[in-house]
Structure 1
Amino acid sequence: MECRKDIVSLIHKYFDEEITETEKNQLKQHLNECNHCRNHFNKLKKSIAFVQSSSHIVAPPNFTDLVMKQLPQPKRSNNWKRWMKKNPFLAAASVFIILMSTSVFSFWLDSGDELSVSGQANLIIDKDRNVVVIPEGEIVEGDLIVRNGSLQIDGQVNGNVTIINGQNYRASVGKVTGNIEEIDEGLEWIWYNIKSFLSDAVNIFDGKKVNE
């Protein structure tokens, strides 16, 4: 029959030299009464003594060379794998750019020609003219993205403005505090997403450094 887990824990604490005097007396009393635990204790004691007595054993001086000669020679076809292991960051970046370019380009082709806008504000969407209008006196806090349409700013945008596949940009008395970017081609859309990702990654990394 197996003994209680606390007795096994006491045996481990004994060999780790973390046992208290009270726990040592408790363990000693149990070992005197339980043959199973006493045999287990003696086996562990012998194993530890054997390991300690073997600590002076060292390998011969040419052991490493002999082992390396017995290993199979690497195949030349594994050059790509070795390069990936030596340059994990570049490999990951390359894979990311390929996957992101594919997904973004697919999104560009499948998104259609419908006018859409992202941004929290009271905007006027004129579908007849295919124009998004920011009324006079309206302030958009944050970035604004307009896809498949033009943008008329009579109010103000406190952020960046991006027009994707738009015909033109018109502003009368409006104001934009950030950058204005027009994207009319699929490759420009891919580059825009890559730049946005890298910018977010840098901001996250800088934020972690500040917190540290």
Structure 2
Amino acid sequence: MNCKVAIEFIHQYLDGELDSKQFEQLQTHLQQCEGCMKTYEQLERTDALSRFALQSSIVNTGRSEADVNQLKHSIMANLPKHRHAPSKARFVRWLYRYPGLTAAAVFLVVMVFSFFASWDHDAKLIISGSQDDLQHIVINGNTVIVPEGVELTGDLVVENGIVEVKGAVSGNVTVIDGQMVLASTGHIAGQSKVIDQALDWFWYKVTSSFSEVIPQ
């Protein structure tokens, strides 16, 4: 079997269209051809990444699996088409040709999907920071207070609430869909930011996600 036929068999296998005899031939070729094996592994990783990102949006957005499947079909319907090829095969070939672009596109779509769900429905107070810092703050209703004489060593992020800084914060303070009050005794060494616009909130979520994935 030459590599051109092997690549075609790989696509058919990922599409679930390869019979048992062809599968055995493909297995034999992959054991002998390092290049085709790398191609197969790359296709499997890309396909798994796209499926994982889409399925994770069920948890992140609170949407049903049917909504996520509908989103997946919408993405596939807008991918470049190759004449005379089955729709699923077209999708896999597009993933193979543009793996980096595919991963970025899926990430962006999931972020947008999550963004609209969160912006419309999130109303509860959410506080993010280190465990040590959170032990020293005071919560009064929807107000988060950094007491006078207390110093937080890390970042503080508050969503849907009011932040009163009477003490010191060595890191950044970010308030999303809320207010920030800096007392005369308060001090923020890092950046202080209030995000109350949808576009700013979306950009913050995107950059925060990349910061978690990519080590500083």
1:109 CA displacement: 1.9
TM-score normalised by L of structure 2: 0.51
TM-score normalised by L of structure 1: 0.52
Q: Is the 8 A contact 2:151 2:167 kept in 1?
A: yes
Match of 2:113 among 102, 108, 117: 102
Q: Is the 8 A contact 2:163 2:175 kept in 1?
A: yes
Match of 2:102 among 91, 94, 98: 91
Report percent identity of matched pairs: 38
Match of 2:210 among 192, 195, 198: 198
Match of 2:194 among 182, 203, 209: 182
SS at match of 2:179: coil
Q: Which has the higher contact order (CA 8 A, sep 6+)?
A: 2
Q: Is the 8 A contact 1:162 1:181 kept in 2?
A: yes
Point out where structure 2 has 5 or more consecutive residues left out of the alignment: 1-81
- How many Å separate the matches in 2 of 1:137 and 1:93? 45
Q: Larger Rg: 1 or 2?
A: 1
Residue type matched to 2:83 in 1?
K
Residue type matched to 1:123 in 2?
I
Does residue 139 of structure 2 align to residue 125 of structure 1?
Answer: yes
1:106 CA displacement: 0.9
- How many Å separate the matches in 1 of 2:165 and 2:152? 10
Q: How does 1:4-23 map to 2 (within 5 A)?
A: none
- How many Å separate the matches in 2 of 1:201 and 1:132? 28
Residue type matched to 1:88 in 2?
P
Aligned to 1:111: 122
Aligned to 2:176: 164
1:141–1:76 Cα change, 3 Å: farther
Superposition CA RMSD, Å:
2.5
Dislocated runs of 4+, deviation >6 Å? 76-80
Q: Is the 8 A contact 2:164 2:180 kept in 1?
A: no
1:161 CA displacement: 1.0
1:146 CA displacement: 1.4
Q: Is the 8 A contact 2:158 2:175 kept in 1?
A: yes
What is the aligned length?
A: 128
Q: Is the 8 A contact 1:152 1:170 kept in 2?
A: yes
1:170 CA displacement: 2.5
Residue type matched to 1:181 in 2?
K
Point out where structure 1 has 5 or more consecutive residues left out of the alignment: 1-73, 207-212
Match of 2:83 among 51, 57, 75: 75
